[in-house]
Amino acid sequence: MSTSKEVYLVDGTRTPFLKVRGKRGPFTPVDLAVQCGRPLLARQPFAADAFDMVILGCVNVIADEMNPARVAALRLGMGDAMVSFTVQINCGSGMQSIDTAFRTIREGSADMILAGGAEALSHAPLVLRDDAVDWLGGMQAASGPLATARNAFQIRPRHLKPVVGLERGLTDPITDLSMGQTAELLAHHFGITRTMADTYAVESHKRLAAAQQDGTLDHEVMPAFDRDGKAYRMDDGVRPQSTVEKLGELSPVFEKPYGQVTAGNASQVTDGASWCILASAEAVEKHKLTPIARLLDSEWAALDPSVMGLGPVMSATPLLTRHGFGNADIDLWEINEAFAAQVLACLAAWQDDRFCQEVLGLEDSFGTISREKLNIHGGAISLGHPVGTSGNRIVLHLANALKKNGVKRGVATECIGGGQGGAMILEAV
């Protein structure tokens, strides 16, 4: 490393993750960022303008909020001079904001950065079809009443049916596979059955429900209030009453009739935001802060988009190898639950001798990651996956979980649409 500066995660909050239910939700990406940003900044012993910069991950930026990082920073009262920029690497955007902040502080270019992620998938746009755009272009270019009338008669019923932008966004443009189809590929390669995927999903819901009830998330999740004063206090997609039998009644979504991926064992489409405060040792001392965890290192990897779900394996393994860590050295794991089959395929890959030797360059298999160490308070299957936010949430929650459980070291990692993966190592302080 180029410098010995240590970087700490000192605090963070997120909104409840709100399930998309067929219409626009009450909050835009910036609304969400402000909702959890205000209480976070209010409980700090320093002014809002004490940060060096603001970095926000966001994938579906809406037209009224270009560069949502800057809009959020201004609405949070962080001052006109606050440098703020938005990053986008699909599902890794919220982690990318932390990583950029981590590297900037580590090299000595900043002392304190607000890094977050915000996504309102319910506000994803409807998009005109290409031939509808061509028709509208012809109408705009028509000169005179006769040409206008001639073009007007060329309209077709299909021109009035828009394309759901989110559906296209979740389809890889290189392979033309949806994200769910890539999970089906992994399920086939690694022998993940429908029962295995449904069992994992049920456990995710039960773990989140328990964490909501026992107060584990109280300091992390801040209530959000809409313009009518309605309060949203908890992730609202959790279904603790789920059973393997009930989930088994759902039809496969992507590969009918024999596929493994259903609406019940895939991540939920949600709106939500998350922030983390990263600081140098000098900033910690100056402001008398109490860090939650130290960010040790990070890694990004890329792979075939058709098996993008193996991104956690491809990014976390070289990261751990670089530091001489093995499976036994990691106390907690946060692997973003894009799909139950995808997470289970990652676990299977790490247990497979041949895969680990030929693909990862290890002498033996990485080993079995205990379910008692993995996503111990649930994950995206039960609470949702607002794309630009999830990577930020899993880092924040990992830091809090390390502290709560009195253990030392954890890994947060995720797969990224387009065939990439990101991973970070945190150590409790």
Respond yes or no: is residue 385 known to be catalytic. yes
Could you tell me if residue 305 is inside a domain? yes
Q: What is the pLDDT of residue 3?
A: 57
> Taking 60 as the threshold, does the pLDDT of residue 224 lie above it?
yes
- Among the listed residues 36, 91, 276, 346, the single catalytic one is 91
Could you tell me if residue 399 is inside a domain? yes
Could you tell me if residue 25 is inside a domain? no
Sequence-ordered strand ranges (E) for 156-311: 163-164, 224-225, 231-232, 270-280, 293-302
Which residue range forms the structural domain that includes residue 393?
A: 179-217+296-428
Could you tell me if residue 95 is inside a domain? no
- Among the listed residues 123, 205, 385, 397, the single catalytic one is 385
> Residue 300 maps to which CATH number?
3.40.47.10
Could you tell me if residue 336 is inside a domain? yes
Query: pLDDT tens, 169-187?
Result: 778 889 999 999 999 999 9
Query: pLDDT tens, 52-110?
Result: 999 999 999 999 999 999 999 999 999 999 999 999 999 999 999 999 999 999 999 99
Could you tell me if residue 149 is inside a domain? no
The DSSP result for 12-57, as a single string, is EEEPPPEE--SS--S--HHHHHHHHHHHHHHTSSS-GGG-SEEEEE
Respond yes or no: is residue 323 known to be catalytic. no
- Counting the structural domains of the chain, the total is 1
Could you tell me if residue 354 is inside a domain? yes
Respond yes or no: is residue 91 known to be catalytic. yes
Residue 376, CA distances (Å) to 202, 232, 345, 404, 424 in order: 13, 23, 18, 12, 17
Could you tell me if residue 310 is inside a domain? yes
Query: pLDDT tens, 309-363?
Result: 999 999 999 999 999 999 999 999 999 999 999 999 999 999 999 999 999 999 9
